[in-house]
Chains A and B, each alone.
Chain A
Amino acid sequence: DTAVSQTPKYLVTQMGNDKSIKCEQNLGHDTMYWYKQDSKKFLKIMFSYNNKELIINETVPNRFSPKSPDKAHLNLHINSLELGDSAVYFCASSQQGEFSYEQYFGPGTRLTVT
């Protein structure tokens, strides 16, 4: 049983295209996150949702738009892809609030923009 799953695992696309990444968790958690990990392995939070409500929105270009149809799903849509968007994108989930120190990560989506 996969706790946090993401699709696709790999995404290769050209500059200017629009793409989406999907995430699902079956842990019953209320809070979900999107992270970006760059080539230097720096892991930075982008967004967080708690029970479908956006609670963290870091300084991310508005080409990135998250959507949470229900508390088990969090998707990320990226418009007008740029070379600098190439990275590994991780979805994660946790129990809410004080338990956010323990997050469960999905396998990641490696995005390559050419």
Chain B
Amino acid sequence: GQSLEQPSEVTAVEGAIVQINCTYQTSGFYGLSWYQQHDGGAPTFLSYNALDGLEETGRFSSFLSRSDSYGYLLLQELQMKDSASYFCAVKSATNKLIFGTGTLLAVQP
């Protein structure tokens, strides 16, 4: 089977750093994407890791360890507008994205 597991909810305060983990078990792996979705909105692409290591894009960074079937999204200097759901997604051999269960991030003042 194919599964991507994420924590269902994470809470943090403004200005803090938060890490959202993703562990995956899929038949065929070609990379890990991260998407953000605000309530009532559409998913928007944040980052992608095809190789092991850290990718940095502004306040957001994403990490991948293929040997551990594990990745995480790191959000720094949290802002209220970062309150949203975050999804990891595995890119499979057939070029489709298999999405994780999603993590609801609540940023508190």
Task: Compute how far the CA of A64 lies from the CA of B37 in the bound complex, rounded to whole angstroms.
Answer: 25
Smallest beta-carbon distance A10→chain B, Å: 11
Contact in complex: B91, A103 (CB < 8 Å) = no
Contacts A44-B99, A56-B94, A100-B97 hold; do A105 and B44 have CB atoms under 8 A apart? yes
Contact in complex: A45, B33 (CB < 8 Å) = no
Residue in B31, B50, B97, B99 whose Cβ sees the most chain A Cβ within 10 Å:
B97
Task: Compute how far the CA of A98 lies from the CA of B30 in the bound complex, rounded to whole angstroms.
Answer: 9
B34 — nearest CB in chain A belongs to which residue? A101
Contact in complex: A108, B96 (CB < 8 Å) = no
Count A interface residues, CB 8 Å. 22
Contact in complex: B97, A103 (CB < 8 Å) = yes
Contacts of A104 in B (CB 8 A): 45
Contact in complex: B33, A102 (CB < 8 Å) = yes
Contacts A98-B95, A100-B96, A102-B33 hold; do A43 and B87 have CB atoms under 8 A apart? yes
Smallest beta-carbon distance A38→chain B, Å: 11
Contact in complex: A42, B102 (CB < 8 Å) = yes
Contact in complex: B42, A105 (CB < 8 Å) = yes
Contact of A105 among B43, B48, B95 (CB under 8 A): B43
B37 — nearest CB in chain A belongs to which residue? A41
A25 on the interface (CB 8 Å rule)? no
Contacts A41-B102, A45-B97 hold; do A100 and B91 have CB atoms under 8 A apart? yes
A97 on the interface (CB 8 Å rule)? yes
**Binary flags per residue of B7-18, CB closer than 8 Å to A gives 1, else 0:** 000000000000
A86 on the interface (CB 8 Å rule)? no
Contact of B101 among A42, A106, A107 (CB under 8 A): A42
Smallest beta-carbon distance A1→chain B, Å: 16
Contact in complex: A107, B42 (CB < 8 Å) = yes
Query: Which residues of A does B touch, CB under 8 Å?
Result: 31, 41-45, 48, 55-56, 90, 96-98, 100-108
